[in-house]
């Protein structure tokens, strides 16, 4: 007999000063002011941002593990796992490559580095030696081997998302294959999901403090003045990323029946957190929670989001080709079409080796330039001072790209409730709640 869904009581809207969105905005503003007027004090706030990132990384592994295992174990057909993964990888490869092409085209059209006439021999090569040294470890073979953990539990004490993903998928498949014998374990993990996500909510309350510390450090350390000389490059990168998100991803979202603008508005708290901390990882657990709440199937969310954080780096890819050509233009290095195609192909591979690497964008750029000797690696010193400001845009674009990918792959899999999704994106709390009475409240 059909029983209509029980509608959960809608909580009264919190006053604006108690909403995480307002608190993060205020924290970022205060951090900018402190870093600008008192650089020494601003720089000293760095531990606050670092501590918050560590808190988030502390809960990423259990969130991914529980989401993937319970999602896969609940599947009636395990062939769906490989199908979802295949579709996700096809999407990532297509749009990551497109992002590289967009950066290449924009750099050729607007030429932000033209006219600088920099002699590479005059640059401080020591400033980038550390990044070049790290880039040598990013070989394709090393990357693949690093996905396999030393033990079954070692991924949970490290920071490699792909290792957690591998163990979670294998355990989820094993749990599904044992049938009834695995039901008590599945029930336990499903029950464990609620307190873990409640822990996410508790940690997120410290988001304003983390955003304040990270932003105060950025402005105090590098200063707004460091943007002046390279403002054209930074502005070009931000505009290019905005066009990629609003036009290219916007068109894909429209074809799949949702609005990328409304998705961005739905994720505004997470985007502000990413902006403040300059790290998309800081919002990973919350993204998974919100995408499931919006109507995407748990098993799809569990596979697409963590994998996307390693393979779907749209912002990083735009940055790599744009920055590489900027360095070439600034140092009067002529690149033929063949050189640029080689740069594109190398960047496609090196960007996949950036998973879990701190400062991945800059290190991956060093790895790419090391293979394309026509562009002087020493030229990276030109953009070192503003890389932190571009890192924020990279993280924002990566984050939005993975949110869009999650909905698109879910739609391809018929694993999304479109009525619930659009109700959620439109802010219709009652309709969304009626469709999913058991959904976990985000930022409760």
In a domain, 37, yes or no: yes
Residues 66, 189 contacting (CB under 8 angstroms): yes
Q: What is the pLDDT along the chain (444 residues), one digit of tens a residue?
A: 334 444 444 455 667 667 777 888 888 888 888 988 888 888 898 888 888 888 888 888 888 888 888 878 776 666 777 788 889 889 998 998 999 999 999 999 988 878 777 776 665 555 555 554 454 455 556 667 777 888 888 888 877 777 888 888 889 888 888 888 888 888 898 899 889 888 888 888 888 888 888 888 878 877 776 566 577 888 899 999 999 999 999 999 999 999 999 999 999 988 988 888 777 777 888 898 899 989 998 888 888 888 888 788 898 889 888 988 988 888 888 888 888 888 888 787 766 655 444 456 666 777 777 767 777 777 777 777 677 778 888 889 999 999 999 999 999 988 888 989 989 998 766 555 555 544 443 343
In a domain, 182, yes or no: yes
Burial 125-153 (b: 16+ CB within 10 A, else e): eeebeebbebbeebeeeebeebeebeeee
Is the four-CA dihedral 117, 386, 381, 337 of positive or negative sign?
negative
Q: Residue 223, class by beta-carbon neighbours within 10 Å (0-12 exposed, 13-18 middle, 19+ buried)?
A: middle
In a domain, 408, yes or no: yes
Enter the pTM of the model.
Answer: 0.77
Confidence (pLDDT) at 356: 42
In a domain, 442, yes or no: no
What tens digit of pLDDT does each residue of 84-99 get? 888 988 999 899 899 9
Residue the block writes with tokens 């960007």 = 351
Provide the 10 A C-beta neighbour count for residue 342: 16
Q: What is the CATH number of the domain that holds 351?
A: 1.10.3860.10
- Crossing angle of helices 161-177/79-110, nearest 10°? 160
In a domain, 4, yes or no: no
User: Quick one: how far is CA 39 from the chain centroid?
Assistant: 29
Provide the 10 A C-beta neighbour count for residue 88: 24
Domain ranges, residue 306: 16-435
Q: How many domains does the chain have?
A: 1
In a domain, 239, yes or no: yes
In a domain, 8, yes or no: no
């Amino acid at each position: 007999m059909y029983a209509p869904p029980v509608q959960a009581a809608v909580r009264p809207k919190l006053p604006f000063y108690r909403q995480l969105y307002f608190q993060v905005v205020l924290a970022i503003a205060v951090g900018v002011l402190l870093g600008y007027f008192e650089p020494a004090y601003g720089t000293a706030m760095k531990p606050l941002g670092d501590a918050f990132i560590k808190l988030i990384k502390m809960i990423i592994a259990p969130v991914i593990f529980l989401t993937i295992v319970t999602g896969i174990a609940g599947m009636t057909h395990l062939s769906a796992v490989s199908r979802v993964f295949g579709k996700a990888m096809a999407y990532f490869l297509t749009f990551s490559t497109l992002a590289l092409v967009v950066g290449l085209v924009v750099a050729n059209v607007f030429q932000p580095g033209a006219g600088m006439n920099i002699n590479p021999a005059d640059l401080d090569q020591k400033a980038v030696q550390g990044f070049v040294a790290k880039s040598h470890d990013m070989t394709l073979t090393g990357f693949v081997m690093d996905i396999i953990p030393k033990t079954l539990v070692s991924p949970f004490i490290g920071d490699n998302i792909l290792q957690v993903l591998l163990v979670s998928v294998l355990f989820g498949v094993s749990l599904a294959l044992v049938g009834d014998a695995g039901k008590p374990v599945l029930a336990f993990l499903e029950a464990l999901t609620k307190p873990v996500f409640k822990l996410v909510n508790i940690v997120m309350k410290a988001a304003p403090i983390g955003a304040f510390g990270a932003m105060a450090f950025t402005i105090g350390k590098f200063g707004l003045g460091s943007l002046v000389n390279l403002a054209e490059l930074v502005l070009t990168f931000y505009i290019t990323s905005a066009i990629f998100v609003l036009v290219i991803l916007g068109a894909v979202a429209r074809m799949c029946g949702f609005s990328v603008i409304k998705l961005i508005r739905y994720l505004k708290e997470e985007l502000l957190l990413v902006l403040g901390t300059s790290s998309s990882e800081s919002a990973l657990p919350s993204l998974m929670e919100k995408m499931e709440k919006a109507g995407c199937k748990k098993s799809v969310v569990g596979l697409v989001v963590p994998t996307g954080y390693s393979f779907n780096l749209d912002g990083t890819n735009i940055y790599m080709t744009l920055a590489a050509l900027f360095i070439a233009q600034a140092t009067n290095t002529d690149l033929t079409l063949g050189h640029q195609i080689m740069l594109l192909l190398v960047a496609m591979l090196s960007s996949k080796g950036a998973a879990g690497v701190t400062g991945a964008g800059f290190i991956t750029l060093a790895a790419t330039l090391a293979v394309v000797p026509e562009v002087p690696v020493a030229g990276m010193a030109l953009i070192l001072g503003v890389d932190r400001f571009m890192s924020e845009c990279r993280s924002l674009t990566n984050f939005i790209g993975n949110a869009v990918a999650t909905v698109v792959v879910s739609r391809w899999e018929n694993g999304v409730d479109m009525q619930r999704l659009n109700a959620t994106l439109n802010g219709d709390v009652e309709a969304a709640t009626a469709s999913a009475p058991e959904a976990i409240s985000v930022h409760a």
